[in-house]
A = this chain, B = another copy of it.
């Protein structure tokens, strides 16, 4: 193949085997261009959805992660130029997302959008982006299908300028190829980023998913204002519901349980610490000096060994033993959670209320836990009734680091847990109008694929989800129990109350001696009825249900009497 040999000439890294085996290196950009389905770009429908997702997630990371209340504008328009040229059906789209975030410095724009695996997300902090891949995969898909460059406008807060770049990704070299650059003095105080990607898509099929995605994003980020304009010119506005925003996550050092030999080597190469003891104390979280000393003594490694020495070949076994012991030593404190940013129970409830106007809603944010040295927090909300349709299994809303996950539900750990709960225990009888929201916040979400659609069943995470769902479900059980008793009480009230007018009339007559029996006056009748209503109301209790307005029994009795006509 001509291509392989041309690459071969450039890199000099090929070899020829018997029977014509040809080896060559592939750049990571070419790899993801060729295997675009791995990043979620498997067809025009999915690609349009994925492009919106990646841009919106970057926009949110540039705002709320830095304490800025997000204002995100998303628009999908037909690319009329391409339509006109190709005389083709409506399949060319321009996806534009603008944010009011921290902006990308002008020196970085080209690499941030034109070099795969170049990112600011490679630190230990909870962000939506993780891989340094998503937007570049969208840029690649765009240039492969529509042949147009990505367009970026950005300004950082303290800059006087807005900078623009139009660029392609050179897939052979994995580097940006800038085709146009611009620079303007700012007229307003705007800072943020505006990105446009042109691509082949299928709007008619992607529409419902994209709307669902934006709706669910708004649920979980009610402090964000999101405006979405469709190709038909429809505009959906999700207004900001609150100015209360979770505190932005902080960056963290690695936890000793989450380290591997490879990372340890990189760390030993770059540390300023002079001894192994210092490395443990300064380069890791949750390790105090006393703990570190105790730990090294227990595993029998001298604390004053120099970091660089540990990298020498003869110390390799020692290094492996060190890392192995670090991973399993129980004496370290648990990972910190200050670099995590859960949504919080209030915001989850607010979001669920907005979406479903449910009869009942509750949520729980679990305390931080860790798996393999990565801390994580599980949050669960349950909504019941209201605008929810009765369904055969709970409507599941999955989120990871505030990203809604819509595809591959059945492979997800949250589905595994929720579908295995015995809901009868919680008085939920299907079909039931119930939705379960599960959010996992972590410095490292164990996604099953780079498309970020489903989460692996890491035992620690699975168990936390189960505990959280059970906790909220127990409160739901109380509600449903009281609701059942309320229904029972109402039935009783109705049974009694509907005879009250009759009884009142009878009593009014009986109050007089038989010779004076005559139809009671309206006044008499009303007085007796009032007395009876008070009597009955005092003796009937309607259970209080938290989160639901408590009804006055007297009011219930009156409404029954007004509405029930005895035949």
Contacts and interface: CB of A to CB of B under 8 A. Distances in A.
A227 to B, nearest CB: 25
B42 A270 contact: no
Given A1-B253, A2-B272, A28-B28, 7 more contacts: A1-B123, A6-B270, A19-B66, A21-B102, A23-B119, A24-B118, A147-B323
Contact of A31 (B105, B131, B251): B131
B117 A262 contact: no
Contacts of A266: 3, 171-172
Interface in A141-180: 143-148, 156-158, 171-172, 179
Nearest to A117: B26
Which 8 pairs show the lowest CB-CB distances between chains A and B?
A147-B320, A15-B108, A6-B270, A144-B260, A449-B449, A2-B270, A28-B28, A26-B117
A277 B15 CA distance: 32
Interface stretch (A311-319, A484-492, A501-509): A311-319
30 contacts: A2-B270, A3-B270, A6-B270, A13-B118, A16-B105, A17-B102, A17-B120, A18-B102, A21-B102, A23-B111, A23-B120, A26-B117, A26-B118, A26-B132, A33-B262, A35-B130, A38-B449, A42-B446, A85-B317, A86-B324, A88-B324, A144-B260, A144-B262, A146-B320, A147-B261, A147-B320, A148-B320, A171-B262, A179-B313, A449-B449
Contacts of A131: 31, 35
B2 A122 contact: no
Contacts of A156: 17-18
Which of A2, A82, A130 gathers most chain B CB within 10 Å? Answer: A2
A4 interface: yes
A22 interface: yes
A456 B42 contact: yes
A389 interface: no
Interface in A54-94: 66, 82, 85-86, 88
A421 interface: no
A85 B321 contact: yes
A15 B107 contact: yes
Nearest to A26: B117
A313 B180 CA distance: 12
A201 to B, nearest CB: 14
A85 B315 CA distance: 13
A22 B120 contact: yes
Contact of A18 (B22, B26, B157, B323): B157
A140 B450 CA distance: 18
A21 B171 CA distance: 26
A358 to B, nearest CB: 30
Contacts of A66: 19
B283 A2 contact: yes
Nearest to A266: B3
A237 to B, nearest CB: 28
A115 interface: yes
Contacts of A242: none
A448 interface: yes
Contact of A262 (B143, B260, B317): B143
Contacts of A111: 13, 15, 23, 25
A309 interface: no
A271 interface: yes
Interface string A6-20: 100000011111110
Contacts of A251: 1
Contacts of A450: 35, 38, 449
A112 interface: yes
A105 B17 contact: yes
Nearest to A15: B108
A540 interface: no
A408 interface: yes
Nearest to A6: B270
A104 interface: yes
A37 interface: yes
A4 B38 contact: no
Contacts of A1: 123-124, 251, 253
A25 B410 contact: no
A346 interface: no
A108 B17 contact: yes
A352 B543 CA distance: 64
Given A22-B123, A316-B147, A262 B140 contact: yes
A103 interface: yes
A17 B155 CA distance: 11
Given A267-B3, A270-B2, A449-B38, A26 B316 contact: no
A456 B102 CA distance: 37
